[in-house]
Chain A
Amino acid sequence: MNNKLSLLYRKDGTQKFLSSLIAILLGMVFGSVLIAIVGATNPDIGGKGILDGIKLVFLGLFSTGTKNGALTFGFNPTLFGDMLFRATPLIMTGLSVAVSQKTGLFNIGAPGQYLMGTLASLMIALSIPTTTVPPAVVWLLAFLGGCLAGALWGAIPGLLKAFLNINEVLACIMTNWIAANLVTLLFDIGKFSIFTGAQTSAMGDPIVLHGSFKNLIESTKSAYIYKTTYNNVATPKLGLDKLLPGSQVNGGILIAIAIAVLVYIIIHKTTFGYQLKACGANRHAARYAGIQDKRNIVFSMAIAGCLAGAGAALYWLSGNTEFAWQTYQSLPAVGFNGIPVALLAINNPIGVIFSGILMAMLNIIGTRLTALTSYNEYITDVIIAAIVYLSAFALMIRMWLSGSNKKKMLAFKPAAVNPEPPKPAETEKPVEAIKPPEDPAPVVSENQEGGAQV
């Protein structure tokens, strides 16, 4: 049993998982320290305020409110549902970053691709009248439009990288800000006119949406685009709202998970995925092996863009979100947060599901802090930023985890001089080694070492 545990502990995957977990915990500790410092210098907050803040940082998801001034904890379905809803775009942008990373490209352009996806899906969802076309078809068209727009936007840095060898990070930064201004520009001047049928105004008249995409019907909402529910377009709830009452959850999360599994299969089980990874490992070697490296780089970025665009479509077509169209000053945080999501999952598409949900949990924690204490939701961003920064140390954490052979790993990392593995190998491996004597292939290097040591 002990042996099995230590074997599991030594597995590469386990150590990656543990190093991610440690990064998250350290991020939360950093957030708590900041809370404590701010609380200590601010007399209004006091010791109890600090304690409440730190409690919420770690247990915010289970917060149910306050009773007699004390925080109460328990299962809160609303928070769980909201977490899943917010996780949907994060999983998608995380996948976007992870897929490009597999091809050795750093997709910092997810915010721009996300914005282009938003533009396309919202414009399609609002300008096809559901009085003549079934809402489900409009939803599907809008979703596909979002994917396509994101894919095209992602393909630009891909093309520049493949054919002109321009650093994709720089190209992505430029396309991000072009998108930020372009989206504002097009929503500002965009015109459409549809009769929405089912909805009626306060006076009982049927609503005809016309003029611009800006919400001019509700007062003080002109900085926002119409909700897609004005055109009866919304992601189906699929019964999830019954399961988690009072929350914004919808079928989008299931679609996101399905896409993550699909991406996993494509990357790990198909020739195409293998080609992508080969280009990431060594572009020149891949070309030598007959893989079209340029085509694969463009495809990789286009898929990354497609995923980010799909994330935008899933979020904005939900029916309960309003898009603030003046994006020219700042890029959507969801896009950038795809980077920590992918980093924590070590670019594994299945891992992205969990790290995406975790990031969403941090988001929920932020809203609880704002609601229940004198702190605010920006502590979430601090924690996320700390996690990104710490993931730069991931290698160091992994070395620290592997314990006593730290110094040797620091100096170099030849696995052959690793003195640790032989112990478990001695108890289990010899049986296998005896069984196939006719097999000439030296299967594991560990066996040879074990033999050498004995």
Chain B
Amino acid sequence: MSFLIQQTLLYSIPLMIVALAGVFSERSGVINLALEGIMIMGAFIGVIATRSLQSLQIFVDAQASGNWAMLQLMELMIMLIAAFAGAVFSLLLSYSAINLRADQTIGGTALNLLAPAICLFLIRVIANQNTLGMENGSSPADWFMIKRSTLGIDPMQKLDFFTETFVVKNYLATYICIIIFVIMAIILYKTRFGLRLRACGENPQAAASLGINVFKMRYAGVTISGALAGMGGFVYAMTTQNCTSNGDVAGFGFLALAVMIFGNWKPLNIAFASLIFGFFKCIAASYSTLDINGDGVYFLRDTIKVSPYLYMMMPFVITLIVLSLTSKNSRAPKAEGIPYDKGMR
């Protein structure tokens, strides 16, 4: 049971943060189809940063002596770098969508094509193969994972359910993402900035008439979106892909888009939706090894016998159904996808 919850969280948290990234962009009036591309970029830069920080003596010593505070600091630094990379990459989208008033769908598609291409091109040049991992074949479990030894717990000691599930074998990144999610949701709903941002996505002309700079607000929305998505991309790569980058996040960015739609562009619903979708993803991933009650029978593979691909398909099917059921009262921002034109009313 703890395994299932842990795994679900691993998939849900990046999904949640990237879906929130989508909300920030769309609420400011720019459709961000590039979530997938930004995630790929964030993951790639994150892995590059991990590799270069790994060779610094201070962190090598910290890892050797088990100085976990130092290592967690390193993890935070890499998350920040990945967020910065995502924000910079998303500027390409803002420039074409806001300054040039180009088609946002095409701009997003271009970024989705560009990110894997550049990443794979560089990975092949750097590593001469299609996957870039950490230096010397080490894994994030050695460096960043919170383990029994990190906390000084005896390996044989029986743990209570809470510690077993939410502390041991977890990553600090998961909780940082949750905190960031809450903070960003509050910013979006309870601050002046958030209100202005949302106004630009509903009726930019009205917002401009009250002295709000729509261009700046949309730039802010897309850049925040890029930072969150870039960070989410790295967290996804670190926690579920063993800190590797291969120019691919397996459609995770599009899944986040589905989460955003399913959650009706609202943070609380998104948190809920990402748990459901993360659960499907987790079931599909641990299909052949999931042993719920520990009796040696692989429940999904041997008892239910439904193909794992069906579980992976479910989130998209559900989203399509939800889309068609709620099309009449969808809360999608009114002005999303429409370039802002001062002269229009």
**Which residues of A are at the interface with B, using a C-beta cutoff of 8 A?**
34, 38, 42, 106, 108, 160, 164-166, 169-171, 173-178, 180-182, 184-185, 188-189, 328-331, 336, 339, 343, 374-376, 378-382, 384-386, 388-389, 391-393, 395-396
Majority DSSP secondary structure for residues of A touching B: helix
**Which residues of B are at the interface with A, using a C-beta cutoff of 8 A?**
31, 33, 92, 96, 100, 102-103, 105-107, 109-114, 116-118, 120-122, 124-125, 247-248, 250-251, 254-255, 257-258, 261, 307, 309-310, 312-313, 316-317, 319-320, 323-324, 327
Tell me whether A374 and B125 are in contact (CB under 8 A). yes
Known: A38-B122, A382-B118, A396-B100. A329 touches B248 (CB 8 A): yes
Name the CB-closest residue of B to A387. Answer: B110
Q: How far is the CB of B194 from chain A (nearest CB, A)?
A: 24
* A181 CA / B255 CA spacing, docked (Å): 13
Contacts of B105 in A (CB 8 A): 106, 108, 169
Tell me whether A392 and B124 are in contact (CB under 8 A). no
Known: A174-B319, A178-B317, A185-B307. A164 touches B324 (CB 8 A): yes
Q: How far is the CB of A163 from chain B (nearest CB, A)?
A: 9
* A349 CA / B251 CA spacing, docked (Å): 31
Name the CB-closest residue of A to B97. Answer: A392
Picked from A169, A189, A386, A393, the residue with its CB within 8 Å of the CB of B96 is A393
- List 26 A-B residue pairs with CB atoms under 8 Å apart, sorted by A's residue number: A38-B122, A166-B323, A166-B324, A170-B257, A171-B323, A173-B33, A173-B257, A175-B316, A177-B313, A181-B309, A181-B310, A181-B313, A185-B310, A329-B250, A336-B109, A336-B112, A336-B113, A339-B106, A375-B125, A376-B121, A378-B247, A379-B117, A385-B114, A388-B110, A393-B102, A395-B102
Known: A175-B320, A185-B313, A329-B251. A379 touches B121 (CB 8 A): yes
Contacts of B257 in A (CB 8 A): 170, 173
Known: A170-B261, A174-B258, A378-B121. A389 touches B312 (CB 8 A): no
Contacts of B96 in A (CB 8 A): 389, 392-393
Known: A389-B114, A392-B103. A108 touches B109 (CB 8 A): yes
Contacts of A336 in B (CB 8 A): 109, 112-113
Contacts of A178 in B (CB 8 A): 313, 316-317, 320
Tell me whether A182 and B313 are in contact (CB under 8 A). yes
Contacts of A108 in B (CB 8 A): 105, 109
* A177 CA / B106 CA spacing, docked (Å): 19
Tell me whether B111 and A389 are in contact (CB under 8 A). yes
6 new A-B contacts, CB < 8 A, other than A182-B309, A389-B110, A392-B107, are: A180-B251, A184-B309, A329-B250, A378-B121, A379-B121, A393-B96
Q: How far is the CB of B245 from chain A (nearest CB, A)?
A: 13
Tell me whether B320 and A171 are in contact (CB under 8 A). yes
Contacts of A42 in B (CB 8 A): 125
Contacts of B110 in A (CB 8 A): 385-386, 388-389, 392
Tell me whether B327 and A164 are in contact (CB under 8 A). yes
Contacts of B317 in A (CB 8 A): 174, 178
* A28 CA / B290 CA spacing, docked (Å): 49
Known: A174-B316, A174-B319, A328-B309. A381 touches B102 (CB 8 A): no
Most chain-A Cβ atoms within 10 A of its Cβ — which of B31, B113, B118, B120? Answer: B113
Q: How far is the CB of B262 from chain A (nearest CB, A)?
A: 11
Picked from B112, B247, B307, B319, the residue with its CB within 8 Å of the CB of A189 is B307
Tell me whether B121 and A165 are in contact (CB under 8 A). no
Known: A173-B254, A189-B307. A385 touches B323 (CB 8 A): no
Tell me whether A392 and B102 are in contact (CB under 8 A). yes
Known: A178-B316, A181-B309, A188-B309. A381 touches B124 (CB 8 A): no
Q: How far is the CB of A384 from chain B (nearest CB, A)?
A: 6
Most chain-B Cβ atoms within 10 A of its Cβ — which of A164, A175, A189, A374? Answer: A164
Contacts of B122 in A (CB 8 A): 38
Tell me whether B124 and A378 are in contact (CB under 8 A). yes
* A389 CA / B103 CA spacing, docked (Å): 10
Tell me whether A160 and B121 are in contact (CB under 8 A). no
Top 4 nearest A-B pairs (CB, nearest first) are A381-B117, A392-B102, A385-B114, A385-B113
Name the CB-closest residue of A to B320. Answer: A174
Name the CB-closest residue of B to A383. Answer: B117
Name the CB-closest residue of B to A176. Answer: B254
Picked from B117, B255, B319, the residue with its CB within 8 Å of the CB of A385 is B117
Picked from B92, B312, B313, B324, the residue with its CB within 8 Å of the CB of A160 is B324
Contacts of A386 in B (CB 8 A): 110, 114
Tell me whether B113 and A388 are in contact (CB under 8 A). yes
* A388 CA / B257 CA spacing, docked (Å): 21
Contacts of A330 in B (CB 8 A): 248, 250-251
Name the CB-closest residue of A to B315. Answer: A177
Q: How far is the CB of B150 from chain A (nearest CB, A)?
A: 33
* A330 CA / B253 CA spacing, docked (Å): 12
Contacts of A176 in B (CB 8 A): 254
Most chain-B Cβ atoms within 10 A of its Cβ — which of A34, A339, A381? Answer: A381
Q: How far is the CB of A170 from chain B (nearest CB, A)?
A: 6
* A170 CA / B112 CA spacing, docked (Å): 15
Name the CB-closest residue of A to B120. Answer: A378
Name the CB-closest residue of A to B31. Answer: A169
* A181 CA / B312 CA spacing, docked (Å): 7
* A213 CA / B10 CA spacing, docked (Å): 34
Q: How far is the CB of B322 from chain A (nearest CB, A)?
A: 10
Most chain-A Cβ atoms within 10 A of its Cβ — which of B107, B116, B125, B323? Answer: B125
Known: A178-B316, A384-B117, A393-B96. A376 touches B327 (CB 8 A): no
Q: How far is the CB of A396 from chain B (nearest CB, A)?
A: 6
Most chain-A Cβ atoms within 10 A of its Cβ — which of B254, B257, B313, B327? Answer: B313
Contacts of B102 in A (CB 8 A): 392-393, 395
Picked from B109, B113, B125, the residue with its CB within 8 Å of the CB of A381 is B113
Known: A177-B254, A330-B251. A170 touches B323 (CB 8 A): yes
Name the CB-closest residue of B to A188. Answer: B307
Contacts of A343 in B (CB 8 A): 106
Tell me whether B109 and A388 are in contact (CB under 8 A). yes
* A393 CA / B95 CA spacing, docked (Å): 11
Name the CB-closest residue of B to A389. Answer: B110
Known: A374-B125, A392-B103. A177 touches B117 (CB 8 A): no
Tell me whether B251 and A177 are in contact (CB under 8 A). yes
Contacts of B323 in A (CB 8 A): 160, 164, 166, 170-171, 174
* A189 CA / B317 CA spacing, docked (Å): 20
Name the CB-closest residue of B to A173. Answer: B254
Q: How far is the CB of A30 from chain B (nearest CB, A)?
A: 10
* A331 CA / B250 CA spacing, docked (Å): 9
Q: How far is the CB of A51 from chain B (nearest CB, A)?
A: 17
Tell me whether A376 and B124 are in contact (CB under 8 A). yes
* A343 CA / B102 CA spacing, docked (Å): 13
Contacts of B103 in A (CB 8 A): 106, 392
Q: How far is the CB of A386 from chain B (nearest CB, A)?
A: 7
Known: A166-B324, A385-B113. A391 touches B118 (CB 8 A): no
Name the CB-closest residue of A to B125. Answer: A38
* A178 CA / B258 CA spacing, docked (Å): 12
* A330 CA / B248 CA spacing, docked (Å): 8
